[in-house]
Amino acid sequence: MSKTLRIAALAGDGIGPEVMREAIKVLRVAEKKFALSLQITAAAVGWAGIDEAGKALPDATLELCKKSDAILFGSVGLPDRDPTIPKEERPERAALLRLRKEFSLFANLRPVRLSRALAHACPLQADRQGDGIDILVVRELTGGMYFGQPKKTEDLGDGKRRAIDTMVYTTPEIERIAHVGFRAARSRRKRLTSIDKANVLENGILWREVVTQVGKEYPDVALEHMFVDNGAMQLMLRPTQFDVMLCENMFGDILSDEAAALAGSLGMLPSASLGTTSGELTFGVYEPAGGTAPDIAGKNLANPLAQILSAAMMLEFSFGEQKAATAIHDAVARVIDDGLRTGDIYSATDPKAKKVGTQEMGTAVAAAISG
Ligand code: IPM
Ligand code: MG
């Protein structure tokens, strides 16, 4: 038996708990097959945290995270309940952004892949899909407008108010995320598109200069710069031109959702948020990029694949368990090939497609690993 890997499982709100259950089901099967030792401990976060302990990130949950090797995160936020508490206490800021900052998770990796079998779920015509879409969005996660100060809404009198968000980046912040992007490109198709708004923003000019400088250390990677508005358009027109897209925080937030739509559904998009590596383990938060989807929560309708693929990324990036991670990826590919579809990726015109619920999908992936 290998070293015990401690995982904090924070399911959160909406569809979080039901997709988390399926991811844990799959992890348990992988654990057995690959002789891992996983200690998975659940804790409350988001509205579940507020209901249980009065805080979106309860102290006990934060303590558990600090004692863990990685965090498997579901999703947080229920917009209907937002008006009941101050904005600073809402789960998105008080739990998710707090965790990113607390653990300095500056590198967010969002792999977008459109498999052949899901070509119909992509909103683009077949001729624009080329030989398949395979993009890695590398998003800076602890800087930019999300965290820059001042950040406030001021009263100007006469019933007028002014809202201020500040976009700030320092050269070291840009350098470290650029290195993550270039290293990722090196392990892929060796193309990096750096996204900025250098025609308008000071931040964009600095971003472009620093990325160009870092790029000199990676002469084998083809670097291209693109304005974010053009990048959004190019994703629709010719997504196959992209390998790695390197983005600051907010541009990456927006473009990764757009790119996810190309992969058929936000329910297919996993993510890893990583800090620096200390010793042999890299601490990270692994979460589906989609939200809580309150409209379908608790109905066994949600697609658990993004959560399951996030668990696979955790095995790979935090624990170096490449074989187990690959087995989960292969199992997901197999159930898709077999025609299993949750509602978000179902097409009535596909004769192979079988509509299944959240639990059946998770069980099928688990079975494909052990089988
Ligand atoms: C994401 C989400 C979050 C973000 C929200 C929920 C705060 O959209 O992870 O992409 O904007 O970063
Ligand atoms: Mg987002």
Question: For residue range 157-171, what is the model confidence (pLDDT) as tens digits?
Answer: 999 999 999 999 999
> Cβ(92) to ligand 1 under 6 A?
yes
* Cβ–Cβ < 8 Å for 75, 15: yes
Active site residue 253: yes
Tokens (6 digits) for 108:
């967010």
Q: What is the pLDDT of residue 183?
A: 95
Residue bearing tokens 């790979």: 316
Question: Each residue of 320-348: pLDDT tens digit?
Answer: 999 999 999 999 999 999 999 999 999 88
Instruction: Return the SS3 of 285.
Output: strand
Taking CA atoms only, the protein residue closest to ligand 1 atom 9 is 289
Q: What is the pLDDT of residue 1?
A: 55
Burial level of 221, CB count in 10 A (0-12/13-18/19+)?
buried
> Torsions phi, psi of 265, nearest 5?
-170, 150
Which is catalytic among the residues 13, 253, 286, 346?
Answer: 253
249 Cα nearest atom in ligand 1 = 12
- The CA-CA-CA angle for residues 63, 82, 9, to 5°, reads 30
Which is catalytic among the residues 13, 55, 69, 146?
Answer: 146
> Cβ(13) to ligand 1 under 6 A?
no
274/282 Cα distance (integer angstroms) = 7
> Cβ(96) to ligand 1 under 6 A?
yes
> Cβ(70) to ligand 1 under 6 A?
no
Q: What is the pLDDT of residue 279?
A: 67
Q: What is the pLDDT of residue 5?
A: 96
Overall pTM > 0.75: yes
Residue 48 — left, alpha, or beta (φ > 0 → left; ψ -120 to 50 → alpha)?
A: alpha
* Cβ–Cβ < 8 Å for 246, 195: yes
Please report, in tens digits, the pLDDT of each residue of the chain (371 residues total): 578 999 999 999 999 999 999 999 999 999 999 999 999 999 999 999 999 999 999 999 999 999 999 999 999 999 999 999 999 999 999 999 999 999 999 999 999 999 888 888 889 998 899 888 999 999 999 999 999 999 999 999 999 999 999 999 999 999 999 999 999 999 999 999 999 999 999 999 999 999 999 999 999 999 999 999 999 999 999 999 999 999 999 999 999 999 988 988 888 999 999 997 766 678 999 999 888 999 999 999 999 999 999 999 999 999 999 999 999 999 999 999 999 999 999 988 888 899 999 999 999 999 999 87
* Cβ–Cβ < 8 Å for 174, 194: no
Q: What is the pLDDT of residue 336?
A: 95
